[in-house]
Structure 1
Amino acid sequence: MPARPTAALFDIGNVLVDVDFSRGLAPLVPAEAGDPATRLRTLLDRINDLETGRVSPSEFIGIASRDLSFSGSEETFRTAWNSIFHPVRAMWPIVSFLKSLGIKLVLFSNTNSMHISWLLENYEVFEDFEGRVFSHDVGLRKPDPSIYQHAIETFDLTPEKTLYLDDLPENIATGRSMGLRCHQYAQEQHHQFIDWLDQELGMPAR
């Protein structure tokens, strides 16, 4: 049986909250501007600069408005930008359960200040986390090994005793290379995650 974990790193998007950019941003694209999906792909290709802090939120909104042919206000854009989320409710009791076991919980996400401010204000699940590593704060994005090392050093994590949940295979691959105990999470396969967690904890996670 593996050693009882002492910490857990949680990705946010598609682990704690569902993310659908088209849900929020497609309505911003005027009908005469063409296919919203094409416009969104162009915009999302630029998101790395926002998520590593190389451009400010206001600068990004200006860029995004041009990409989407959006002529409305910055406030309207921010509202749409933050409307892409929906809770992954099945995961939230697991967070509380792990906290009750004394496991150190750390958010570990490629994100930006607009999204994080909104998420922390609106979803109570984030109150259970004692640590945060956000790409826009440290200037690094997953799957760069440097951001994993930053998390390990900042929160004094022991990799072989640290669980790591993420939805993207490339991020999981780096996590494994760093010695973390990883699970690639898929909402439609939540039962597989529970089975994995039972084994990792050596007890039912229900």
Structure 2
Amino acid sequence: MSKKQAALVDIGNVILHIDFETSLSRLIPPELADPAGRIASLLEKKDEFERGDFTDSDFVTWASKKLQFTGTPEEFIAAWNDIFTPNLPMWDTLRDLKARGFQLILFSNTNQMHADYFLAEFAEVFDLFDGRVFSHEAGCNKPDPAIYHHAFEKYQLVPEDTLYFDDLPENISTGLQLGLKAWRYKGDSHEAMTRWLVETLD
């Protein structure tokens, strides 16, 4: 590794576990069939929303109709944000990387509502980070190479000297193609990642 060490770190199912179904199912009238299918239908606009193509309020209106939710926007937003729980083993790894002098950079497909929530709610871990590249701010999503090049340029990263953690194989594939030291993270195999880190950093 070169003198400047950095790590790009995804958020969902890496830093924080995500459970959309349990939280959002509370918004669906109990008499309606197929709540899981209704929640999955929100993916129709996921990429556009995370790219910043439309506003939070427009998404809340559209998603409420999809779920046939008749409550307030504030109630929707509370459920929309109540999907995250800490992945504490990864928090320990990030503290270790920070102690080693790594520049930690958040690198996530997300949206403004989620970002406002998790940056405040889990400040203990997010305060470790030196920067961020969020899709809704960059105007492009992973696995589009454009968002990776945006991160490289914004933080003057050398891909070959940069670690990258993500849970999705398509995102890892782009990272590897661009020269990053990438690891596909799985919460049930944290120890395997730890062993890989030891081998990579030695």
TM-score range, shorter chain: over 0.9
Compute the displacement of 1:32 (Å). 2.2
Q: Is the 8 A contact 1:23 1:83 kept in 2?
A: no
Give the AA of the match of 2:117: W
Give the AA of the match of 1:69: Q
Tell me the equivalent position of 1:159: 159
SS at match of 1:125: helix
After superposition, the CA RMSD in angstroms is: 1.1
Question: Within 5 A, what are the aligned runs for 1:29-108?
Answer: 29-108=28-107
Compute the displacement of 1:33 (Å). 2.2
Q: Is the 8 A contact 1:161 1:180 kept in 2?
A: yes
Taking the aligned partners of 1:41 and 1:185, their CA distance within structure 2 comes to 23
Query: Mind listing any 5+ residue stretches in structure 1 that lack a counterpart?
Result: none
Tell me the equivalent position of 1:125: 125
SS at match of 1:32: coil
Answering whether residue 134 of structure 2 is matched by residue 134 of structure 1, we say yes
Compute the displacement of 1:25 (Å). 0.3
Tell me the equivalent position of 2:145: 145
SS at match of 1:76: helix
The sequence identity of aligned pairs, in percent, is 47
Answering whether residue 171 of structure 2 is matched by residue 171 of structure 1, we say yes
Tell me the equivalent position of 1:18: 17
Taking the aligned partners of 1:136 and 1:70, their CA distance within structure 2 comes to 25
Query: Mind listing any 5+ residue stretches in structure 2 that lack a counterpart?
Result: none
Give the AA of the match of 1:175: G
* TM-score normalized by the length of structure 2: 0.97
Taking the aligned partners of 1:5 and 1:174, their CA distance within structure 2 comes to 22
